[in-house]
Amino acid sequence: MVNQVVLITGILLVVLFAVAVFVWGHDAKASDIYGEGSSFLFPFFSIAFQLQDKRNRFRKSSLLIEREQQLMRQIKLIMPRESAQKQVIRLQCMRSTWVLVCFLLGICFCVLLSISAVLQPLIRENAYIQRTEYGQGDREANLIVSTKDRKQKYQLIVKERAYSEQEVTDFFNQATALLPTLILGQNSSPELISYPLQLVKEIEGMPFRISWESSNYDVVGSDGTVRNDDLSEDVVVTLTAGLSYLEYRFYTTLNVVVKPRVYTAEELEMIEIEKALAAQQEASSDRHALYLPKQVVGMDQIHWEEEPYMDWVWVLMLTGLAAIAIYVTKGTEIEKQRKEREVQLAMDYCELINKLTLYMNAGMTLRNIFFKLMTEYEKHSGIRKQYLYEEITMTCHEMQTGVSEADAYENFGKRCGLRQYVRLTALLNQNMKKGSNNLLVSLQQESRDAFETRKNMARRLGEEAGTKVLGPMMLMLGVVLVMIMIPAYLSFGM
């Protein structure tokens, strides 16, 4: 009953999704936000866009609004030329799109499982469980047994069907008739054995496990190997096959006639070439080069060439793996740059406060201090990129284009995005508007706090670096252990 309910529910959900694709699957607004991308995902994206649009009509919680604003600020930092609001909507819809794809695949899989359970029930006619045939393994059945008072789960292992004695005997008779043909391999008959035998371990459709014994292991091995290179006459070998199934054991014998090996023309050519190479090796053992024979007895002039160098295949495979690794790594590059920017801004904050305090004590105005910092950075801009001075440069350019000093400082704090910079710009604007005389005192206190923060951050970064080194150290330890244990193991084996 449960399987039928799951099947009907799954089909209804798939139909509902198909209706949603038909109604919402080609929305123009969604197409504008989706941009260029996979056409397979667009119907899902369009549905996610409609659901997002309907959700936005309801009142959002303050936490959700704050998260969206934080995401917009991050996107503005990473992609300043793109519309932050549009990118936020696209990001949220893409998340919902993959959730819809995941749910649809899961529902389809549940429907398929339910169809299988309905068409092939475990308990048939409410009376019996079908056993599996021999070789298919035991069957595990999770059941619920109901009595008058209670229901209880029960796990039952249904053994595969075992053959009766008569069936086993019939199988043995069939195997006895089949074995002389099955073991021949490339040989034409048991009386003309020149090539390796295929001593089968089992016969398809029969329950036996077969083991083999030979009356002459020097000629025919238990694995079917035929050693007839040195034979000068025919040799009769008796093979004994032992067939076993559960407690049943049967034995049958087969006689084969092993013929002396008859070499083909190609094999004779290779034998002559090997002899010529061996003779050349012996004759030129004290020389700096081995000259390959150009002529062999019974053959025309032969030509030697180097086997094609195929290591490029491995290089190509490694190149493909490297390309995949680069693609995955590049996908997280923006987030990595954003984190590096935040760390660098936080580390440089103490330096900025110290310079502001120093220059203000020297009598310089805030505007002149910012322009001086920009000039010093431009002189040494080729050394390395510093995000703090890039923002200071942008602030100076804003003031040069007519933006008020207060607004330029406020924009500077917003672009930096860290709390300490926002606090600093608020302090500077307050000093400009109210003319506070305590700015130097506040900057000195801020300098002390920034120095403590920088020390704590440096300590934390050092701990993170130590953690990253732990992986290679463990790898080196494993290599050392392998180098110690393998020789010890080999010495014990000897």
The pair of three-digit structure tokens given for residue 488, joined into one six-digit string? 């010890």
pLDDT of 148 > 70? The answer is: no
Mean confidence (pLDDT) of the chain: 78
Sequence-ordered alpha helix ranges (H) in 120-264: 165-182
31 CB neighbour count, 10 Å cutoff: 13
Burial (CB count <10 Å: 0-12, 13-18, 19+), residue 342: middle
pLDDT of 67 > 60? The answer is: yes
Confidence of residue 426 (pLDDT cuts 50, 70, 90): confident
Between these two residues, 99 and 381, which has the higher pLDDT value?
Answer: 99
The structure tokens 């040799």 sit at: 235
What is the distance between the alpha carbons of residues 109 and 112, in angstroms, rounded to a whole number? 5
Task: Please choose, from the candidates 391, 392, 447, 402, the residue with its C-alpha nearest in 3D space to the C-alpha of residue 77.
Answer: 391
* pTM score over 0.75: no
Could you report the per-residue pLDDT of 244-287, keeping only the tens digit for each? 988 889 999 989 898 887 777 777 778 778 888 888 788 888 88
The pair of three-digit structure tokens given for residue 438, joined into one six-digit string? 């305590």
What is the distance between the alpha carbons of residues 28 and 32, in angstroms, rounded to a whole number? 6
Cα distance from N-terminal residue to C-terminal residue, the chain: 66
Average pLDDT of the segment spanning 181-197: 87
Between these two residues, 71 and 189, which has the higher pLDDT value?
Answer: 189
Question: Of all residues in the chain, what percent carry a pLDDT higher than 70?
Answer: 76
Contacts 24+ apart (CB under 8 A), 191-194: 191/256, 191/257, 192/257, 192/259, 193/220, 193/226, 193/228, 193/256, 193/257, 193/258, 193/259, 194/226, 194/228, 194/258, 194/259, 194/261, 194/262
DSSP percent split of the chain into helix, strand, coil, nearest 5: 60, 10, 30
What is the distance between the alpha carbons of residues 242 and 252, in angstroms, rounded to a whole number? 7
* Strand (E) or helix (H) holding 244: strand 235-245
pLDDT of 15 > 60? The answer is: yes
Confidence of residue 159 (pLDDT cuts 50, 70, 90): confident
The pair of three-digit structure tokens given for residue 103, joined into one six-digit string? 């749910």
Q: What residues contact 206, with CB distance under 8 A and at least 6 apart?
A: 171, 174, 175
Could you report the per-residue pLDDT of 205-255, keeping only the tens digit for each? 888 889 999 998 888 888 888 888 778 888 899 999 999 988 889 999 989
Q: For position 242, what pLDDT does the model report?
A: 92
Q: For position 47, what pLDDT does the model report?
A: 74
Q: Could you give phi then psi for residue 15, rounded to 5 degrees?
A: -65, -45
The pair of three-digit structure tokens given for residue 287, joined into one six-digit string? 């020389």
Q: C-alpha dihedral over 78, 81, 82, 84, to 10 degrees?
A: 60
What is the distance between the alpha carbons of residues 100 and 42, in angstroms, rounded to a whole number? 12
What is the distance between the alpha carbons of residues 149 and 146, in angstroms, rounded to a whole number? 8
Q: What residues contact 160, with CB distance under 8 A and at least 6 apart?
A: 131, 132, 133, 134, 135, 136, 137, 138, 139
What angle (nearest 5°) sits at the alpha carbon of residue 231, between those of residues 228 and 233?
120
Q: For position 271, what pLDDT does the model report?
A: 76
Judge contact between 296 and 286, C-beta under 8 A: no
Judge contact between 348 and 388, C-beta under 8 A: yes
Q: Which of 127-141, 151-165, 407-421 has the lowest mean pLDDT?
A: 127-141
Distance from chain centroid for Cα 372? 51
Q: For position 435, what pLDDT does the model report?
A: 66
Q: What residues contact 123, with CB distance under 8 A and at least 6 apart?
A: 129, 143
Average pLDDT of the segment spanning 103-117: 72
What is the distance between the alpha carbons of residues 180 and 133, in angstroms, rounded to a whole number? 27
Q: C-alpha dihedral over 239, 240, 244, 249, to 10 degrees?
A: 160
Judged by DSSP in three states, 352 sits in helix
Residue environment code for 288-326, b if the CB has 16+ CB neighbours within 10 A, otherwise e: eeeeeeeebeeeeeeeeeeeeeeeeeeeeeeeeeeeeee
What is the distance between the alpha carbons of residues 149 and 344, in angstroms, rounded to a whole number? 71
* Strand (E) or helix (H) holding 248: strand 248-258
Could you report the per-residue pLDDT of 296-328, keeping only the tens digit for each? 777 777 777 776 666 656 766 877 787 777 666
